[in-house]
Every structure is written in structure tokens, then in C-alpha cells.
Amino acid sequence: MSGATAIKLADFQANARAALKDPKLRDSFTGAMDFLIDRRAQQFPDLEAFERLRKVGEAVRQQALSKLPELLEQLETKLTSLGVQVHWAETAADANRIFLDLARRHDASLMVKGKSMVSEEIELNHEMAAQGIECVETDMGEYILQLDGDRPSHIIMPAIHKTKQDVAEIFHEHIKGAPLTDDVNELIAIGRRALRDKFSAARIGVSGVNFMVAETGSLVLVENEGNGRLCTSVPDVHIAITGIEKVIEKLEHVAPLFALLTRSATGQAITTYLNVITGPRRDGEKDGPREMHLILLDNGRTQAYREERFRATLQCIRCGACMNHCPVYTRVGGLSYGTTYPGPIGAIISPHLQNLKETRHLPTASSLCGACGEVCPVGIPIPDMLMRLREAGRHSVAQSATPPQQALRGQGEVRQLAEALAWKAWRLLYSHPALYRLLVWFAARLNWLTPPWQGGWTQARAPLKPASKSLRDLLAERGRQRK
């Protein structure tokens, strides 16, 4: 099995145009997103109840972020006392170096990995494969994509762009003895049989983390397949990796976030598994890892944290609801974005993790309809974040009020001279009435220069129908009715 394909920043506009010409992809995404939207709506039939729960979730995340450094220190102290080794990684390269050191220390040539977007972020599979270490995905969707050399298109359902016929062909080609069948239950059974021996053979199990509890030193993992539980309990060594923002203060804070996450992500009241891991195997216990590590990754998160106008980005609990409701994402799919995190949340996270210049198309890949902000279970003002990133891309540090030490990488480099001149001309005209009147005078007399296609459209369109009653008449009539 080959390692996962390394993620390369791509041209969103070119990818989007190609996706729009793919009817199979559009049908697949439209059907899947409609299904998820309906499932979520069934879980939140009472909007007022949803708003109350969302306020709790938002408060929990904001409280944790307001004292993030202290909670991380508390978490490290608690984990260390429980026998967990904590590692700090400033960049993706640092995180991969830690993984490689641990693999070599334990003479491991095989890792089994549960679903983890942060491991996708650092391209763990690709980096380990380059060092001769096989890192096998055990989430069924991720496993399918790894076999096919493809990348996730959704943070919750990574293989949502694959049909059952696609999966049948992938298994038939890459799994020895797999029959060519499109029966979903049989396909799942084939995948499980292929993965079963990997769990017992692997020296290292890798997982992500949904929430870290500073109070107890617990790592909380949410899943449906049970592969996460196997990855964290069967191998002798468990390595968890997560972003520094995933910490919360108390164990009781898990409940509202869990309720919001599962209902927003897959429309489930509760997932099949909720794993709460508090340290490695203790004396007298029959399962669990004998050694446990946690890698805390920064990779640009500190930049988002230290500037208050972007801090809300880190409230995200990775439910994917904003993607499911985004009219852009549902039409072009996740692979068009060319980044680990697609959709609206990816558009506001990726500039911090990578570079604002390289991800310049993402903040503008939005209609600003506001659906992403309305459904976010922890109240992230995503449309506001998108506007702030657009502004940052067009204004250098010297032009903005942002201190140089808080500037985004690539800030101001999206600015285009023609666009800047056009806005300056607009401001000049609209701030000087005499110039504006002069422009209108010339425009009225140079109407013959209007392009033919525009004039033709103007002449051919249906004229507006006059209202049968004036606004004044309607208001007067309503006043009489009230009396």
C-alpha cells in the first residue's frame, strides 16, 4: 500500500470550473448534502432550544480560548502525572519528526491510524511512507481513499465523492481476493477483514482528539466504527495528535459539545462510541497501550489566537455543518479547495495554517449568504471572518491597524493594482459631487459606446410592471382596516 498523496495547494478557480462540469460529482454531493441537512434539521426541530444549546457550546469554547495558555499547562501537568508523554510541535515538520523518532525508538514499520484531520494536515502518511514506515488508515472512508491514492473531500465523511461502484473497483484492484461487488454490506465486510490483522500487527496506534480535558487529563474521541478504540487500545504505543485549540477546562463541558457535534455532523443524537482515554494501561488492566504520547500542534494556530479579530476561528469543533449548508461547497466539492480543511471553515482556517497569498481564493469562495454562520454549533461568525480575511489580503501591514508581529503570512499580497486604482477612482467620484455630476453628464451623452450585447439585453428584457396601487394607497388601506 502506498502512502497518501501529499497535499498541494491548487488553483481553486480552475478546480471549481472542472468540478462544475462533472455531473457525477455534482449529483453525488447534492444528494449527500441534502441528506445531511435533513438529518441535522430533524435533530434540531426547536430553533430556540438549539440557540440555547449553541450559546452553551459557544461559551465553553470561548472560556477555554480566553485562558488557553493556562489550560494547556494544566493539561500537560495532569497528563504527565498520569504517565502520558507530552510533545509540543510548532510546525508540521516538527510533528512528523516526533512521529519518526518514536517509530524508530520502537522499531515500528507499521502504524494503524484512526480518523484524524490534524494528521492529514501534517501529511503524516506521506511523510512516514517516505521513511519506509507504513501508516494505514482504519476509518473505512479514509482507507478507501488511501487505497486509491486520493484525498478526503469532507472532514466527517472523507469518501463522500466516491460511489459504491467506485469503492467496488478500488477494493477489487487493491485487496487480494476481493470480488467485484457493489453490495454495501459486503464491501464493508471486505474492508474490515483486510484491516483486522493490521491492528494486532502494528506496534503503534495513532489517533486524533476531539476534546482534551485539562481538569482530568482525558482525551475524548468520538467515532462510529470502533476502529478508533482498536487503534488506541490494541497496539503497545498510542500516539495522539491534535491542535492546541482543542482543550477545554472541565469534564462536564464535554456533554454540551458532544451533543452539538454529533447532531450537527451526522444528524445523530449520539454516536456509537465515545472514548474517554485517561492515561496508558495501569497495573491490573488487561488492555490499553503500555505507552502513550500526545503531540500538541501549533502550525499557525497561535497567530489566529493572538489576534482577537481571528480568535473565534479556533472555536471550531470540526462538525462540518458549515460545509453541508454552503452553496459553493455543495457544488464544487472538497477537493476543489486543495487544502486539508475545505468549505467555509477551511476558508478561514487555511490562511493561518498555510499562507494568505497561497490561499487567496478561499475567502472569496463564498456567496456570503450567511448559512454557515447560522448553522455553526459554537457560534463562529464565519461570514465576518471571511470579510476580515479579504480585507487583510488587500491591505498590507503598513496600510492596516494590525501590528507587524500579528500580521498574517502573506498579508497584503493579494492586492492588485488595477483593483486598487478602481476603488480609488470610485471613492474620488463619490466624495466630490461636481465630479460625479460631470461623469453622469458624459455617460448620458456617450451611451452609444455601450457594447452591443449589453444594449441588446437591455432592449430585450421584459419591462417592470407598474404596481396596481401606490405604496401610499396600500398604507392608507391598512390604516383603515386597523380602525
pLDDT at position 378 over 70: yes
393-425 pLDDT, tens per residue?
776 655 555 665 556 766 667 777 787 788 788
For 344, the enclosing helix (H) or strand (E) is helix 343-353
The SS3 of residue 327 is coil
Residue 81 or 465, more confident = 81
pLDDT at position 308 over 50: yes
pLDDT at position 458 over 60: no
| pLDDT-derived band at 462, boundaries 50, 70, 90 | low
Q: Which set of grid coordinates corresponds to residue 380? A: 463562529
pLDDT at position 468 over 80: no
The SS3 of residue 165 is helix
Percent of the chain with pLDDT over 70: 87
Distance from chain centroid for Cα 477: 52
Q: Which amino acid is at 50?
A: F
The SS3 of residue 430 is helix
Q: Which amino acid is at 377?
A: P
Task: Give me the count of residues in the chain.
Answer: 483
341-372 pLDDT, tens per residue?
999 999 999 999 988 888 888 999 999 999 99
Q: Which set of grid coordinates corresponds to residue 170? A: 478500488
Look at 20-34, 45-59, 292-306, 392-406 and tell me which has the smallest mean pLDDT: 392-406
DSSP string, 124-182: HHHHHHHTT-EEEE-SHHHHHHHHHT---SSSSSTTTT--HHHHHHHHHHHSTT-----
* pLDDT value, residue 300: 93
Of 268, 267, 281, the residue nearest 325 (C-alpha): 267
Percent of the chain with pLDDT over 90: 71
The SS3 of residue 74 is helix
222-240 pLDDT, tens per residue?
999 999 999 999 999 999 9
